[in-house]
Amino acid sequence: MTTSEQHPNLIQVLDFVDSHRQAFVDDLFQLLRIPSVSADSAFADDMCRAADWLVSHFREMGLAVELIETAGHPIVYAESPPVEGAPVALVYGHYDVQPPDPSDKWITPPFEPTVRDGNVYARGACDDKGQMLTHVKSLQSWLKSSGKLPLQVKLVIEGEEEVGSEHLGSFLADNTEKLACDCVVISDTSQFAPGVPAITYGLRGIAYFELHLTGPNRDLHSGVFGGGVTNPANALCKMLAALVDEEGKIRLPGFYDDVTSLTDREREEWQALPFDQQEFENQLDVDGVTGEAGFTTLERRWARPSLDINGMTSGYQGEGAKTVLPTRASAKFSFRLVPDQDPAKVTAALRAFLEPLVPPGITMELVEYHGAAGIAFPLESPYLEAAANAIETGFEARPVFMREGGSIPIVNQFHQRLGAEVLLLGWGQNDDNLHSPNEKFSLIDFHRGVRASAALWHELASLAQGQ
């Protein structure tokens, strides 16, 4: 038991959390039943339903709430009253989810939350409805059991994280005073492993593109025309393959200029983490991995840039063989970036690299989607210490410090515009199938997350009051 757990208010709150465990799960299921897919306009009404669900939830908790319309999906904003002498925390999360595709690979339907082996299976279970709700439920527990919060909390729950947070940046820029805070709390990452909770101090950034190549004015017979006309699918393969060399290095000129090296301390600390390469491969059913030469798997995933093709479309995709020379070929692909790499510079370098590679008979269109810079925070801070204590209360284990390969586009801007520390406290697991079929979230970790969050408000409040 940590000292904070002995505080009378917190004891009451944690009791409330324990005795409302099932009620909180029921609420999570309500939200999971709403198919709030931000990428697909067919789900626009459901996006509004999810935002409205949050609005009424926050209102019932007695918070001041606003539904902020944007040119995209709405932002839900809520706040509690200021507390003299205590810091201000801002909780950020997202109510949008990734498309459920491929839908036929789900064991149970993506928007009918189902419990198996102590996990809830549903799109958004972990990313991010389940994780985000741990903070909502801990705040509700504080409000119900002690009548007030020990510090002021502001909540920003957006609906566009999975599509690059396009409209949140301007909301942030226009409302820096309203959103002013000492720290931002985000649960949208993972633990290191089961039983090994983590605080994440670095995220990769992203630069996402779609490349369209157009060749002849119609699909052609590949026997009649093949070899005599440039095939856009062949050209696409060549151009994409040119982006990475044999050593796994990205070949854009200047790409590595701003890549910050890992520190010796990081390398040592990551070697000491309980990571087993064989087990990692077994979990994915692969008989080996490739990547940038000279780096370990954790280093490659957390601290080195990478390039992945996210989707390719061309030619005949139906059953059996069809001898066609397609008129068009396209690919979606994205670079993961590390701190100090600028997505705009990468975009310019990519365009300059690809243009001379376009063969005769092909026209190229390069579409830019979202871009966001990566970030790494210093490890010395009282807020991190407070968060580590809170995690110990919730998870009964001290967290490790790690970086993650995923991106949360707005984190950089929170840090820069609000000057706030960002606490990335992830309750998920690496095998939670984020963005894949059968996404899941452990219900025990949901409960532990609510407990850790409840303790966090106490820990943060104690900080400023010098207790």
How far apart are alpha carbons 191 and 135 in whole angstroms?
16
Q: Is 127 in the site for Zn ion (CB under 5 A)?
A: yes
Q: Is 404 in the site for Zn ion (CB under 5 A)?
A: no
Binders of ligand BES in range 66-105 (CB under 6 A)? none
Total residues in contact with ligand BES, by rule CB under 6 A: 17
How far apart are alpha carbons 184 and 412 in whole angstroms?
11
Question: Would you call 7 helix, strand, or coil by DSSP?
Answer: coil
Q: Which two tokens stand for residue 322?
A: 């069809």
> 317: Cβ–Cβ under 8 A, 6 or more apart, which residues?
none
Q: How far is the CB of 456 from ligand BES (least distance, A)?
A: 19
Binders of Zn ion in range 141-200 (CB under 5 A)? 188
Q: Is 410 in the site for ligand BES (CB under 6 A)?
A: no
Q: Is 406 in the site for ligand BES (CB under 6 A)?
A: yes
DSSP, res 315: S
Q: How far is the CB of 442 from ligand BES (least distance, A)?
A: 15
CA geometry: angle at 263 spanning 261 and 267, to 5°? 105
Q: Is 160 in the site for ligand BES (CB under 6 A)?
A: no
How far apart are alpha carbons 375 and 383 in whole angstroms?
17
How far apart are alpha carbons 367 and 332 in whole angstroms?
9
Q: Is 190 in the site for ligand BES (CB under 6 A)?
A: yes
Member of 4, 14, 24, 127 binding ligand BES (CB under 6 A) = 127
Pick 130 or 232: Cβ nearer Zn ion: 130
Q: Are the C-beta atoms of 119 and 443 separated by less than 8 Å?
A: yes
Q: Is 434 in the site for ligand BES (CB under 6 A)?
A: yes
Member of 46, 79, 158, 161 binding ligand BES (CB under 6 A) = 161
The DSSP element (H or E) to which 238 belongs, if any, is helix 232-241
Q: Is 442 in the site for ligand BES (CB under 6 A)?
A: no
Q: Are the C-beta atoms of 203 and 424 separated by less than 8 Å?
A: yes
Q: Which stretch binds ligand BES (CB under 6 A): 6-14, 117-125, 296-304, 404-412?
A: 404-412
Q: Is 445 in the site for Zn ion (CB under 5 A)?
A: no
Helices 21-32/443-464 angle, 10° precision: 110
Binding-site ranges for ligand BES (CB under 6 A): 127-128, 161-162, 164, 188-190, 206, 370, 372, 404, 406-409, 434
Binding-site ranges for Zn ion (CB under 5 A): 127-128, 188
